[in-house]
Homo-oligomer: A and B are copies of this chain.
Amino acid sequence: MKDNDNRSKPITDLTIRRLSSYLRTLDILEKTGVKIISSKKLADIEGISDGLVRKDLTLFGSFGIRGTGYHVSPLKRHVTRILGLDRRWNIVLIGTGETSKIFLDSEAFQKKNFQVIKIFDKTPELIGKKLDNLVISDMNNLENEIDPKIVDLAIVAVSPPDVQSVIDRLGKIGIKGALYFASRSVAVPKNMVVRNQDVSIELGTLTYHISRKVPG
Contacts and interface: CB of A to CB of B under 8 A. Distances in A.
Interface of A: 13, 16-17, 19-21, 23-25, 28, 45-47, 82-85, 89, 98-99, 101-103, 105-108, 112, 114, 152-153, 160, 176-179, 183-185, 187-188, 191, 193, 195, 197-214
A209 B84 CA distance: 8
A208 B16 contact: yes
A82 B205 CA distance: 11
State the oligomeric state as a number of copies: 2
A210 B153 contact: yes
B16 A185 contact: no
Contacts of A208: 16, 19, 82-84
B206 A195 contact: yes
Nearest to A175: B210
A47 B185 CA distance: 8
B179 A199 contact: yes
Of A152, A177, A201, chain B has the most CB atoms within 10 Å of the CB of: A201
Contact of A213 (B191, B202, B213): B191
Contact of A200 (B102, B108, B201): B108
B205 A112 contact: no
Q: Rank and list the top 5 A-B pairs by shortest CB-CB distance, nearest first.
A: A84-B211, A20-B204, A108-B200, A84-B207, A177-B206
Contacts of A19: 204, 208
Given A24-B198, A188-B47, A108 B203 contact: yes
Contacts of A214: 176
Contact of A99 (B28, B102, B114): B102
A42 to B, nearest CB: 10
16 contacts: A13-B205, A20-B200, A21-B185, A28-B184, A45-B185, A47-B187, A47-B188, A83-B207, A98-B98, A98-B101, A107-B183, A177-B210, A179-B203, A179-B206, A191-B213, A197-B202
